[in-house]
Structures are given as C-alpha cells and as structure tokens.
Amino acid sequence: MNVLLPQPIEVEAVRRLEEAGHTVVTAPDPTPETVLPLMKNAHAVVLRTGITMTRGLIEAADDLRVISRTGGGFDNVDVEAATDNEIIVTSNLGVNSISVCEHVLAMMLSLAKQLPLLDRAVRNDNYSIRYQNLSRDLNGKTIGLLGLGRIGFQVATACASVFKMRVLACDPYLADEIKSQYTDLVAFVDKKQLCKESDVISVHVPLTDETHHALSTAEFELMKSEAIVINTSRGPVIDEDALIDALEHQIIGGAGLDVQNHEPPDPKSPLLKLDKVLLTPHSAALTNECVIRMATDAADRTIEVLSGKKPLNVANPEVLGAQRWQHLASS
C-alpha cells in the first residue's frame, strides 16, 4: 500500500515501512498545492508538523485509512473530517516526554543562571559583569506546572529529585484518582495560587478554547518579580502581548519560549529584543534520539492499521465502530 510523507522522516522509519511491504512516497515539499494530488492514491499519511491535514486534503484521497502523527498533538489534523470519512488518526503520546523535559530544565537553568547574558558579556569584553548580575539557585525553590500530563510529570520528578524543589500543579482536568497517586510529589492548587507562589512556571497543556491565553495580564501581575515562565506546549496558551508587557515592565523575571504565537516569530517582535527571553524554534522534542522514536513509532501505528491490527493511541476511537474497521484485531 502507499504511504505518503508530506515531509521526509528518518530513514529508520522509512525502512520499517518498506520492510512491511509498503511503498513510501515523499512529497517534494509540504505545501498543500504539492501534497493535494499525491493524496489521491495514499492509503496512509505519516504526518509531521509542516502541513495541516485539512478536510480538502483528506477528502482528496480515494482510500485513505490512517493519518499517523509523529508527535503527540493534533493541531494540524482536521480530526472531525477524518472521522467523517472513517479514517483513523493516531498519535505518539508520551514519546517525547523525556526530551521535552530536558529542554525545560535547560531553559530553566539558562535563565536562572543568566547564561545567554553572561556569555554575550564575556564575548564583548565585559568580564566585570560577574559582579553586576548575580544568577540564582534553583535548589529549594518552587516550580509550578500548568498541566500535569506525561511531560509535566517528568519535569516534576526531575525538579523534586535533582533540585529539591517544591512542586505545585494546576490541572483541573486530571481525575482525582490520578491526583491521589502524586500527592507525595505534587501539591495541587488553583491557577491563582500557582502564579503567586512559584519561582518557575512551566506550561504543559494542549491548546484548546479553555487554555487559550491561560497566562495573561492578570496572571503575570500575580507572579513574583523574579519568576521565570517557560512554555514548551503551544504558543497561544500565553498571551504574548501581555508577556512582553510583563517583561518590559519587570513584572516577571524572564521567559523561555520554545513555542510562539507565530512560528517563526515576526522579525520585528519585541520578544527578539528582550535580554531575559530565551527562544528556541519549537525544537524541544527534536533531539536525534527523539525524532527517530517519533518517526518509527508513527510508522508502527501505520503498519498496524494497514495490516489489520487495532493501533495504539487512536485520537478518534469512535471511528473504530465503522463497518470498515470491524476486522481489526488487537495489536
């Protein structure tokens, strides 16, 4: 069967698909105009983040069976359209947890220790900055986690064990029975208390109508003047204009942003001019090891569907009730 790659994926994953007997077709580029005619004969799509699988693209396929995301999110898949057309959508929940956690820790340390600022100063012959800008310890401080999913839990565990940090979490969607398992590690609080008491706030929620601008002016005004905000989830979870204002007026101490409202950010964005902002290009999960895991796991989900097995991590499980999927056996 034909597996379409709107963007190239790692050779290990391509090899796995080919060894399973499938033909891999890679688009020359991930624009809708290029991908659209390739959809017609696709039985599966292995999808990275460079293109959105819209209803138009989905319905251009004659016999599309599965859209397999390499990552854990579905921002770039019209899941409703896939469900309407009885197409399975899968993801890789948890595959990037360790890699993103390490990125959060790197940003947290870089900002607390003011590494970018100190590096630039030394390069500019300002060695005396060592007496002017004292960095901060993380040991014994408080980290607040907005969202306690797989990544948030990894961050909580690392901060508590390595830095002896107090861990707060706000996650109203987490079931009480799940929360009860973490009480030795995490104190669950509301967002207001989390903002007031945390020295570092790390965002780990999906982008939904409820989480859009979850951190805005009101939240920043509650924070400590030296608080560090880190976002490795989705840009619009933070009100970027409010964040810029909070940083410019020294309401908070710094921000580490792997995601922005616009990616790439506008070259004129004030974020690019602020010393206490650390920016990375939505790359927290893009370690060598993690991209191989993501690609090969997505290939495995694809192979499962095309070989008549029920895949792991189905985003639209209701589609499995369709007649076309009654033959699926448990993986």
The pLDDT tens digits for 111-147 are 999 999 999 999 999 999 998 878 999 999 999 999 9
Q: Are residues 126 and 201 in the same domain?
A: yes
Work out the average pLDDT over 200-214. Answer: 96
- Quote the pLDDT of residue 74: 87
Residue 102 has pLDDT above 90, yes or no: yes
Q: Verify that 115 and 214 share a domain, yes or no.
A: yes
| Same-domain status, 269 and 305 | no
Q: How confident is the model at residue 73 (pLDDT cuts 50, 70, 90)?
A: confident
Q: What is the pLDDT of residues 293-321, one digit of tens each?
A: 999 999 999 999 999 999 999 999 999 99
271 & 295 share domain: no
In this structure, the answer to whether residues 112 and 83 fall within a common structural domain is no
* φ, ψ at 53 (rounded to 5°): -80, 90
Residues 230 and 311 in one domain: no
Average pLDDT value over all residues in the chain: 96
pLDDT at 316: 96
265 in the same domain as 308: no
Q: Would you say residue 330 has pLDDT above 80?
A: no
Please indicate, yes or no, whether residues 312 and 188 belong to a single structural domain of this protein.
Answer: no
* Domain end point (choices 239, 257, 279): 279
Is pLDDT larger for residue 83 or for residue 72?
A: 83
274 and 316 together in one domain: no
Mean pLDDT is lowest, of 142-146, 161-165, 206-210, 315-319, for 206-210
Query: How far apart are the C-alpha atoms of 264 and 108, rounded to whole Å?
Result: 22
Please check whether residue 294 is in contact with residue 285, taking contact to mean a CB–CB distance below 8 angstroms.
Answer: yes
Split into its structural domains, the chain has a count of 2
The reported pLDDT for the residue numbered 133 is 77
- Residues with a catalytic annotation lie at 234, 263, 282
Q: In the structure, what pLDDT confidence band is assigned to residue 331 with cuts at 50, 70 and 90? A: low
pLDDT tens, 182-196? 999 999 999 999 999
What pLDDT shows up at residue 134? 86
Q: Report in angstroms the alpha-carbon separations of 279 from 110, 200, 310.
A: 11, 16, 39
* Average pLDDT of the segment spanning 92-111: 96
CATH code of the domain covering residue 258: 3.40.50.720
Distance CA 106, CA 100 (A): 10
Q: H-type helices in the chain, by residue range?
A: 11-19, 32-39, 55-58, 79-84, 97-112, 115-123, 150-162, 176-179, 191-197, 217-222, 240-248, 288-306
Domain shared by 151 and 58, yes or no: no
pTM of the model: 0.84
| Domain that includes residue 74, residue range | 2-95+288-330
> 208 and 91 in one domain?
no
Q: Are residues 67 and 200 in the same domain?
A: no
Instruction: Taking residues 230-255, report their average pLDDT.
Output: 98
pLDDT higher than threshold 60 for residue 289: yes
| Residue 247 pLDDT | 98
pLDDT surpassing 80 at residue 56: yes
175 contact partners, CB below 8 Å, separation of at least 6: none
